[in-house]
Structure 1
Amino acid sequence: MRAIVIDKPGGPEVLTWREVPDPLPERGEVIIDVAASAVNRADALQRQGFYDPPPGASPYPGMECSGVVEAVGSDVEGFAPGDRVCALLSGGGYAEKVAVPWQQVMRVPKGVDLVEAAGLPEVACTVWSNVFMTARLRKGETLLVHGGASGIGTMAVQLAKAFGSRVVVTAGSPEKIGRCLELGADEGIDYRREDFSEKVKADVVLDIMGGKYLAGNIKVLKTGGRLVVIGLQGGTKGELDLGALLAKRASVYGTTLRSRPVDEKGAIVRGVVDNVWPLLDAGAIRPVVHARVPMSDAAEAHRILESGEHIGKILLVS
């Protein structure tokens, strides 16, 4: 098979499309003939040498994919060759084939294109696990989503609205805010022109910025509020006012998804299939795709990602 290989850390130009050994199904694994993958910030960090795959994971980038089951190993439950699926990966999505534990595999929702399904696993699992499982967002509460026009942001907006919450987003342009409002957001804040911490009060904050936004995030939390930090685009360190945290009886969570063990990922995947897939089947929510790029031109997809101009997901088509 062919895959995107990173021989040395660097810019998008280090992503090379070349022949590598085919994966073989080990016990409990499914081999997927990949139709598409999708680009995530973690892929760019891996390319730059800052985010190595977990032990035992594929060395190739790509944390999600869609395609058709080609083969199954022993002890695989519920999947057979020919099934149309998408999957949450620890790596290896930028390839023509990938091996993945069966617990992380999901059937493609009804009415979703096989290629577009590649953009669902990472965002659906991230939003479900953080906003609903960890932060326990409830009907009628307010969710603040930083980076509302991102892949994760566009899913968070739709899911929170589908479950009856009020949603406020931050984004970097009127166009991005407009798209978030079209997806159901109640309010948009242009972070280039406005201070979000002066504009909103929230029960739950989904944060991709980390240190830079820590003080502001604590400020906007209501009593009993929950801050979930899932990214560090604004740095790893910030000053935390513990007095404010205690006075509000608030909570701060930091989470990652990629390095979790299979059983934890499997539990998240089951939650997604039970709670998110029916909304996709009914057309109540949808994947938001900015561009489809040939997988062999992954470098261009990374340039689009790093430009910050995209809305939704960037797909890599095999």
Structure 2
Amino acid sequence: MRAIQVLEFGGPEVLRPADVPEPRVGEGQILVHVDRAGVNYADTHQAENTYLSRSTVPMVPGGEVVGRTDDGRRVVALVDGGGYAERAAALESQSFEVPDGVDDVSALALIVQGATAWLLLRRTARIEAGETVVVHAGAGGVGSLAVQLAKALGARNVIATASTPEKRELALSLGADVAIDANTPDLVAALRSANGGRRVDVVLDMTGGSITDQSVAALAPFGRLAFYGMASRQAPAPIAPTSLLAHSTTVGGMWLPHAFTVPGLMPRVMTELFGLVEDGSLRVIAGGEYPLSQARRAHEDLRARRTTGKLVLDPSL
């Protein structure tokens, strides 16, 4: 079958089209005939072997697919690699039937980015109505959904950051109250200014480096920073536990695979997200569809911040 294969670790240049054997379906697994494969930042880390879980080569990258099973069910599924291909093996326990009212791109966006946004807000940050929420990369895959979910959960002021005027306009169109330049030199001052001079309650951060450092410094008493990635490839400064006492702040991390270890959690998340899309309360931004053979270009665009919303690959092309 056609797939994208990685024979050595590195940047987007290591993603190459190849013919590979069809995946073997083990106990508790299903075979998915892939209609679309999702593209995530995690995939770029997987290709570099810098992800939280280590990879081995040769490999077929890709962690999410939507398609049909042999018995005709339309499902979206997380896979342990192998998503950038015409067919993929997925655990039944990590597969969810997609309602007719949810399109392929939306289904793919929900199983990783949507679930991530939901868990960050509901579990890690434990948002309360009336709070201020900062969403970094507010026009990205997770960010564009987190902006909408934060408003739906009662946030008083949603502050999005984004790197271009066009991305900031998109964040505002999705419900952000304020959108600021992600590259502003003094982020602490910018966040406080966007919140009427006050510190902020919640920050969702996947950037790392100085963005994380300044976001922690901008937290209000009992504020929470939910950390879920390091797109800048730069680690933030170490946080001494005693420094958290200065404003009674909390810094928490979230990695999506842990949600599958909590009985009933992911089915609840997906059911709620599917419903929000079906009734029009949650809008997925389609960020671009690439032929499978151009997976390298998709990674290049993602890493260069040229994209917004959800990126997908079409294995038929």
TM-score bin, normalised by smaller chain: 0.7 to 0.9
- 1:91 is aligned to 81
TM superposition score normalised by structure 1:
0.88
User: Any idea what SS the aligned residue of 1:122 has?
Assistant: helix
Residue from 296, 301, 304 that aligns with 1:299: 296
Deviation of 1:275 after TM superposition, in Å, equals: 2.3
Unaligned runs of 5+ in 2: 193-198
Structure 1 residue 244: Cα displacement: 4.9
Counterpart in the other structure of 2:196: none
Secondary structure in structure 2 of the residue aligned to 1:140: coil
Describe the SS at the equivalent of 1:276: helix
Q: Which residue of 2 aligns with 1:108?
A: 98
Q: CA deviation at 1:268?
A: 4.0
1:65-84 matches, cutoff 5 A? 65-70=65-70, 81-84=71-74
| Compared CA separation, residues 115 and 218, structure 1 to 2 (3 A) | closer
Q: Structure 1 unaligned runs (5+)? A: 71-80
Distance 2:55 2:10 in 1: 22
Counterparts of 1:30-179 in structure 2 under 5 Å? 30-51=30-51, 59-70=59-70, 81-165=71-155, 166-179=157-170
Give the deviation of 1:154 after TM superposition. 0.6
Is 2:215 the partner of 1:217? yes
Give, as a single letter, the amino acid of the residue that structure 2 aligns with 1:30: I
CA distance in 2, matches of 1:240, 1:262: 28
* Contact persistence 1:148–1:157 (CA under 8 A): yes
Alignment of 1:316 with 2:313, yes or no, is: yes
1:282 paired to 2:279: yes
Q: CA deviation at 1:119?
A: 2.8
Compared CA separation, residues 232 and 9, structure 1 to 2 (3 A) = same
Normalising by structure 2, what TM-score?
A: 0.88
Gap change, CA 1:301 and 1:2, over 3 Å in 2: same
Aligned to 1:185: 176
Runs of 4 or more, structure 1, over 4 Å off, are: 52-58, 241-244
Identify if the C-alpha distance between structure 1 residues 268 and 316 changes in structure 2 by more than 3 Å, giving closer, same or farther. Answer: farther
Deviation, 1:90, is: 3.0
Tell me which amino acid in the other structure corresponds to 1:158: Q
Alpha-carbon distance between aligned partners in 2 of 1:192 and 1:25, rounded to the nearest angstrom: 46
1:36 CA drift (Å): 0.6
On the 8 A contact 1:58/1:91 being kept in 2, the answer is no
Question: Against the structure 1 CA distance between its residues 117 and 218, is the aligned structure 2 distance closer, same or farther, given a 3 Å change threshold?
Answer: same
Percent identity (aligned): 37
CA RMSD of aligned residues (A): 2.4
Structure 2 match to 1:254: 253
CA distance in 2, matches of 1:139, 1:102: 36
Query: Are 2:198 and 1:207 equivalent residues in the alignment?
Result: no
Report the more deviating stretch, 248-257 or 142-151: 248-257
Whole-angstrom CA distance in 2 between matches of 1:243 and 1:11: 38
CA shift in 2, pair 1:271/1:298, >3 Å: same
Kept in 2: contact 1:125–1:272 (CA 8 A): yes
Structure 1 stretch displaced more, 180-189 or 37-46: 37-46
SS at the partner of 1:120?
helix
Are 1:273 and 2:270 counterparts?
yes
Alpha carbons 2:6, 2:58 under 8 Å: kept: no
Counterpart of 1:196, as a letter, is L
Quick check: 2:7–2:58 contact (8 Å CA) kept in 1?
no
Cα distance in structure 2, aligned partners of 1:261 and 1:21: 31
**1:242: how far off?**
4.8
The offset of 1:196, in angstroms, is: 2.7
The residue number in structure 2 matching 1:11 is: 11
* CA apart distance, 1:280: 0.9
Q: Which residue of 2 aligns with 1:78?
A: none
Corresponding residue for 2:195?
none
1:28 aligns with 2:28: yes
Contact 1:170–1:196 (CA under 8 A) maintained in structure 2? no
Distance in 2, Cα, partners of 1:92 & 1:218: 37
